[in-house]
Amino acid sequence: MHRFFVPAEWIQADRIIITGRQAHQLREVLRLEVGARIIVLDGNGLEYLVELLDITMGRIIAEVVKCCRCPNEPGIQITLYQALLKGSKFELILQKCTEMGVVGFVPIISERCIAGSPSRSRISRWERIIVEAAEQSG
């Protein structure tokens, strides 16, 4: 079943309004239709089984069928302090460690680090990689 993180403010009692990247993914990429069910995560440990009620361009309305604590949350909260690496190696570490259950990352610049300080756009990319890895791995 498809899993998506959404901001907590999109969740309103028994309804969830999905917009932006997630709405595009559901409508255009996955081509889900009214009646399809997905799992929505609020980033605070809750997961919602929802049924899609209305699908329009850029906006999807879903009804909450069931809400529960996410059973896949790791029992131990691990934060990884990782020196920056060249190329896309750091991104691979973010992806794989997220899939294994690491909940926090602290990029560091060490004495022998070749990579420089990351730009704001690079940090945004890292955040997207982490979210997508968490959605995919459950």
31-68 residue pLDDT tens: 999 999 999 888 777 889 999 999 988 899 999 999 88
Q: What is the pTM of this model?
A: 0.70
Please report the pLDDT score of residue 52 as a whole number: 94
Please report the pLDDT score of residue 138 as a whole number: 66
Please report the pLDDT score of residue 129 as a whole number: 92
Strand partners, 76: none
Beta-carbon contacts of 67 under 8 Å, excluding residues fewer than 6 positions away, are 46, 47, 48, 49
Please report the pLDDT score of residue 44 as a whole number: 77
Confidence band, pLDDT 50/70/90 cuts, at residue 106: very high
Please report the pLDDT score of residue 80 as a whole number: 93
Alpha-helix runs per DSSP H in the chain = 20-24, 89-100, 120-137
Higher pLDDT, 52 or 135: 52
Q: Tell me the one-letter amino acid at 25.
A: Q
Question: How many CB atoms are closer than 10 A to CB 134?
Answer: 19
Assigned token pair, 27:
């409508």
Q: How far apart are CA 42 and CA 56, in angstroms?
A: 22
Task: Please give the distance of CA 32 from its chain centroid, rounded to a whole number.
Answer: 19
Helix (H, G, I), strand (E, B), or coil: what is residue 23?
A: helix
Average pLDDT, the chain: 87
- Sort strands 79-83 and 104-108 into parallel, antiparallel or unpaired: parallel
